[in-house]
Amino acid sequence: MKFSGEAPTLRQHRPWSPLVADTLDSLPAERARVLKQRLEHELPNLRSLLEHLYGRLPNFESFLSTLLVSTLRAAQQRDADLWALDLAREHDPAWHQRGMVGYCAYVDKFAGTLDGVQQRIGYLQELGVTYLHLLPFLKAGKAPNDGGFAVASFAEIEPTLGDMNALKSLCRALRGAGISLCSDLVLNHVAEDHAWARAARAADPSYREYFHWLDSEEAVREQEQHLVQIFPATAPGNFTYVAEQNAWVWTTFYPCQWDLNYANPAVFADMAAAMLHLANHGVEAFRLDSTGFLWKRPGTNCMNQPEVHLIVQAMRSLTAIASPAVLLKAEAIMPTQELPPYFGLGPVRGPECHIAYHSSLMAASWVALTEENPEVVSEVLAHTPDLPTGCSWLTYVRCHDDIGWNVLRPELAALGSDPLRRLARAASFLSGETEGSYARGARFQASDPSAVHGTNGMTAALTGLTGAGRQGGPQQELALQRIALMYAMSFFVGGLPLIYMGDELGLDNTSASELQARQGPDGRELHRPFMDEVALRQRHDPTTIPGQLFGMLRKLITVRQERLGHGAPLQIRPLPLSCASVLCLRRNGQMGLFNFSRKPVRVALQELGAMPLQDMFSGAQLATDTLELGPYGVAWLNPAEHA
Ligand code: OTU
């Protein structure tokens, strides 16, 4: 591992402490043998990562030793089926790269409770889902709690959703159905009513050190100059005054979310333990929430600091010891060029996350849709690096958050356009403000008229399906084609494409009455509707909108599984075509064509190079020398040797 230009120190591999040796000795022989091997493999790197973070502390050796002991204990407690899964996946690191398909939902909105989700496994299987991200289900702070992203206990389930046994049972049932459960791991902050925050508020000195404090208004003002605002309208500022302490605690997001201080090794150790505990309940993937914010360096914007990668790589190393079946997924909503480090490709080299959200690609696809021109998508993909073996992009059309626009600034600037103007145009179109716009979204955090922040709304609302009135007709047809286009692109590019709950049935935005009933003013509730049971029952009826969308996604999933190669590393390259509205992507040898315009187009096959070509959806070989793409039309093509 290299870090901040220091010469790599050649470190004599020290044996582990007597405490670690005793722990190993106390384990059943077979587990001890495997764990010893894993420890031998991981420890040099893990030690070096942690030394960079905490090596200056006098008790470093005992910290490391305690951490290793608790990691070994976690491995010891792993159920036999999970232990077996660990062994299998250790020898097959590409296990998650064979056409995995994700689905993301709130437990209550999808199925009421964790048990309810278990009842819906058949539905997920029918759709073809193999990865289920359930939005926060751990015990949350008192409402409003940022949709559960203010966690009050990492070892308890939100009581209205179930308990830890229900989680375990759900994970096992999902696993039996070939579906991996992903849980959020909200690493950056805890709820103000989490025990750590309560103890800190009550002046417990060791818990005070779990957080970041500033002791004057000047210090707050000074620091704010360097920081961004995540929720400028509903939660301005990054600090919250705590009267009991007569000090300001760092709160990047809502005031009820206290940022953890990772300079304190106890924070790292507690969060690692929380992660391994959840993994032992059967969680197979962690969505590392707000990963970019974990390390504060005064005088900087405190985003994407090198230490973030030391922390995440150390977490990865602990899972490699105690639960190697587990995937780590970075939720770093950052410009494209900031993302490679989350795969361990930055200055701190080494295994890090398996998966990361490609939010620039998502945002770019919406700009492209509004401009009826995919130029921005091409620009984003041109700057998207190939990934190391075992790593993939998570691609998506919508999620529970807004579409954040500012990640696209670098690409728009590179295209020579005024980023603010262009993003403002897309945002105004999608919120339905632009004359003639089909969209029914809404602006998010739009307090500053000179800035552009994000856009809310379900896919159906943003693509014109809602606006078309659900009475049939050409506008509805166009909207359905837009949805198919957006998902087809996501499925073509992604190692892990994610379906956001409701999109498979074309659900509209949360209703006005429901929005009113919900606590808190957060505009993102607009795209957090409850599952519509009527729509769900219509999914097999192709004369209905739910039937058409469900069928369309099923088709994408099957064709992707059967015809699109899954080999890693995956290379996605845009291929310029003479027709400006068509995005042409090469995926290893295969091609995806996406017409972002409502006008039908013809593409001369000659421009694509390879011949003959097979249409993956119909299975037929293309017989003519031009390819017709209808309004928002899509084609996935195989060169003959793949066919
Ligand atoms: C994440 O979001 C979650 O996805 C949000 O739902 C939470 O509110 C937030 O963390 C706090 O836990 O910072 O790096 O809409 O894109 O807040 C990613 C803004 C984040 C989100 C942003 C985000």
* Nearest Cα residue to atom 5 of ligand 1: 401
| Rounded Cα–Cα distance for residues 62 and 44 (Å) | 16
Mean local confidence (pLDDT), 215-244:
96
107 CA from centroid of ligand 1 (Å): 18
* Nearest Cα residue to atom 18 of ligand 1: 290
Considering the entire predicted model, what is its pTM?
0.96
| Rounded Cα–Cα distance for residues 510 and 461 (Å) | 10
How are beta strands 247-250 and 239-242 bridged, if at all? antiparallel
Cβ of 289 less than 6 Å from ligand 1 = yes
608 CA from centroid of ligand 1 (Å): 40
Cβ of 466 less than 6 Å from ligand 1 = no
Contact 393, 492 (CB under 8 A): no
- Give Cα 145 to chain centroid, integer Å: 20
pLDDT digits (tens, 9 = 90+) for 415-437: 998 999 999 999 999 999 999 99
Nearest to 490 by CA among 381, 346, 625: 381
How are beta strands 454-456 and 403-404 bridged, if at all? antiparallel
Active-site residue among 192, 307, 331, 504?
Answer: 331
Q: Which residues pair with 590 in a beta bridge?
A: 587
| Per-residue tokens: 371 | 């401009």
pLDDT digits (tens, 9 = 90+) for 96-125: 999 999 999 999 999 999 999 999 999 999
252 CA from centroid of ligand 1 (Å): 10
Tell me the best of 133, 290, 293, 305 to mutate to test the pocket of ligand 1, counting ligand atoms within 8 Å of each CB and taking the most.
Answer: 290
402 is catalytic: no
pLDDT digits (tens, 9 = 90+) for 264-275: 999 999 999 999
> Does residue 360 surpass a pLDDT of 70?
yes
Mean local confidence (pLDDT), 537-553:
98
> Does residue 372 surpass a pLDDT of 60?
yes
pLDDT computed for residue 10 by the predictor:
44
538 CA from centroid of ligand 1 (Å): 33
Query: Whole-number mean pLDDT of the chain?
Result: 95
- What 3-state DSSP class applies to 57? coil
* Nearest Cα residue to atom 23 of ligand 1: 290
Q: Report CA Rg, the chain.
A: 25
Nearest atom in ligand 1 to 399's CA: 4
pLDDT computed for residue 429 by the predictor:
98
328 CA from centroid of ligand 1 (Å): 17
* Nearest Cα residue to atom 17 of ligand 1: 230
pLDDT computed for residue 642 by the predictor:
52
| Rounded Cα–Cα distance for residues 479 and 466 (Å) | 9
Active-site residue among 86, 284, 289, 508?
Answer: 289
Nearest to 526 by CA among 453, 460, 441, 465: 441
DSSP label at residue 343: G
Neighbouring CB atoms inside 10 A of 187's CB total 28
Neighbouring CB atoms inside 10 A of 149's CB total 24
Neighbouring CB atoms inside 10 A of 536's CB total 16
pLDDT computed for residue 245 by the predictor:
96
236 CA from centroid of ligand 1 (Å): 15
Q: Is 632 left (phi over 0), alpha (psi -120 to 50) or beta?
A: left
Q: Grade residue 514 by pLDDT with cuts at 50, 70 and 90.
A: very high
289 is catalytic: yes
| Rounded Cα–Cα distance for residues 483 and 551 (Å) | 12
| Rounded Cα–Cα distance for residues 169 and 67 (Å) | 28
Cβ of 331 less than 6 Å from ligand 1 = yes
Q: Which amino acid is at 220?
A: V
Cβ of 284 less than 6 Å from ligand 1 = no
Q: Which residues pair with 603 in a beta bridge?
A: 627
pLDDT computed for residue 450 by the predictor:
84
Nearest to 279 by CA among 71, 25, 564: 71
CA angle 111, 116, 122 (to 5 degrees): 90
Nearest atom in ligand 1 to 253's CA: 11
> Does residue 11 surpass a pLDDT of 60?
no
- Give Cα 233 to chain centroid, integer Å: 24
Cβ of 525 less than 6 Å from ligand 1 = no
Nearest to 367 by CA among 326, 404, 342: 404
